[in-house]
Structure 1
Amino acid sequence: MAYGPFQGAVEVHSGGLPPWLAPVARAAETVEPTQLSRFLPPEDGAGRQSAVLVLFGEGRRGPELLLMERAGSLRSHAGQPSFPGGALDPADGDPHGEGPVRAALREAWEETGLDPHGVQIFGVLPKLYIPVSGFVVAPVLGWWREPSPVGVMDPAETARVFTVPVADLTDPEKRATAVHPAGHSGPAFLVESALVWGFTAGVIDRLLHYAGWERPWDRSRQVPLDWRA
């Protein structure tokens, strides 16, 4: 399935990025999978290939990230903020080639109405694994060179689409450790009336760290999650 009007070749390059994005582009070129997560794709190739779009833009308060909040009625990850993204379709192409980039752009268009023509893909992070769902996820990095209107395309799947200033993501007062009743924990962000945790928060946390944007924060500050999370 082609994503909207965009059917041209997908090019990944870091030329012409704003100077503030240069540290992220450099990190994407050098970061190792184990530096991003302890959950890596199964060696036997198992797992559903998928991709998310980590889209950086320029907002009223400076650099920002595009996120969406899943509908509260969904069976899995209800109400959880996330990057736009999803599983690869056969038409997206080679999962080991440009497939993840095409899937990330297609899913973002389907979920938020984003015009992929205005996005410059400047990197793809190593693939990570989400054990609870069995997804093998490629985080695709984009620069929102020409912003387009975005919003909820399907209320049954998405509650809202919003942007978060990087200044808020790096604010120590908006950071915490999310603790699940099952015992595992991870970074969390309390931003835009939302609690960002799980896979999405983990990717943001590592990007902030390796881009040199991270500020010291109180890792003992905990936010409990419930069993439905």
Structure 2
Amino acid sequence: MPDPLAPVLAALARPGRPSSDFDLNPEILLPPGRVLRHAGVLVGFVETRRGVEVLLTKRASHLRHHPGQIAFPGGKVDPGDADATAAALREASEEVGLPPGAATLLGLIDPHETVTGFLITPVLVRLAPFDPLPEAGEVDEVFTVPLAHLADPANYRIEARLWRGQMRRYYTVPYGPYYIWGATARILRALADRMA
């Protein structure tokens, strides 16, 4: 039987390039010498009867930053974290109850710069089956989306909204009731481009 994650592994072997929330907005001038905070997110692949799916969360609606948005488990690299991979695994344990040893590292894709001043490293992992336990203070829901949907560039749209007085364009990749947009959609689009 071929590995169901063979397309992802093949994508990791291809060259990529860093992405940014500013990719679709070349007119925005970034300040020179800006200092970015490092973060890691867990792009977790789950093998199900329906095929390979990607684990995502819906952030709690009461949060101060990005309430209700769809996101990968993850967060900033803390002083105790060895690197972005360690941060992503720690945050996934905290946010969705990922047990120790349930994630097998596949590789990293190029970092993504956000408008909020983070440099996010996407950490791609194969997940063993586990029962997610959303951390009520941070996560309203844990769910999966078929990789086939996320890997198809035709499912992505470019939309725009006013941000700090300027129109900002961004990717979306809606799925059912989930409006996946912003940095999460841009990271997924970078992976889709490498898989294409």
* TM-score normalised per structure 2: 0.83
Deviations 1:145-196 (A, max 9, x none): x22211312x221110111111232467854323213411122111141100
The aligned counterpart of 1:148 is 130
Amino acid at match of 1:119: A
Q: What SS does the corresponding residue of 2:101 show, helix, strand or coil?
A: helix
Equivalence map 1:7-18=2 (5 Å): 18=5
The aligned counterpart of 2:169 is 185
Against the structure 1 CA distance between its residues 178 and 60, is the aligned structure 2 distance closer, same or farther, given a 3 Å change threshold? farther
Against the structure 1 CA distance between its residues 194 and 39, is the aligned structure 2 distance closer, same or farther, given a 3 Å change threshold? same
Give the whole-Å Cα distance in 2 for the aligned partners of 1:161 and 1:32.
29
Residue among 112, 124, 127 paired with 2:96:
112
Deviations 1:9-52 (A, max 9, x none): xxxxxxx884233223223xx2122xx33659987471222111
Against the structure 1 CA distance between its residues 125 and 175, is the aligned structure 2 distance closer, same or farther, given a 3 Å change threshold? closer
Q: What SS does the corresponding residue of 1:181 show, helix, strand or coil?
A: strand
Residue among 12, 15, 19 paired with 2:6:
19
Deviations 1:181-221 (A, max 9, x none): 34111221111411000000001011111111xxxxxxxxx
The aligned counterpart of 2:178 is 194
The aligned counterpart of 1:4 is none
Calculate percent identity across the aligned residue pairs.
34
The 4+ residue runs of structure 1 with deviation greater than 6 A are 40-43
Deviations 1:65-114 (A, max 9, x none): 11001111112211100000001121112xxxxx1111110000100001
The aligned counterpart of 2:61 is 72
Against the structure 1 CA distance between its residues 38 and 77, is the aligned structure 2 distance closer, same or farther, given a 3 Å change threshold? closer
* TM-score normalised per structure 1: 0.72
Give the whole-Å Cα distance in 2 for the aligned partners of 1:78 and 1:63.
27
Amino acid at match of 2:16: V
The aligned counterpart of 1:31 is 16
The answer as to 2:115 corresponding to 1:128 is no
Deviations 1:97-155 (A, max 9, x none): xx111111000010000124021112112222212x221211111112x22211312x2
The answer (yes or no) to whether the contact 2:21–2:182 under 8 Å persists in 1 is no
The answer (yes or no) to whether the contact 2:153–2:193 under 8 Å persists in 1 is no
Against the structure 1 CA distance between its residues 108 and 211, is the aligned structure 2 distance closer, same or farther, given a 3 Å change threshold? same
Aligned residues: 185
Name stretches of at least 5 consecutive residues in structure 2 with no aligned partner.
24-29
The aligned counterpart of 2:38 is 49
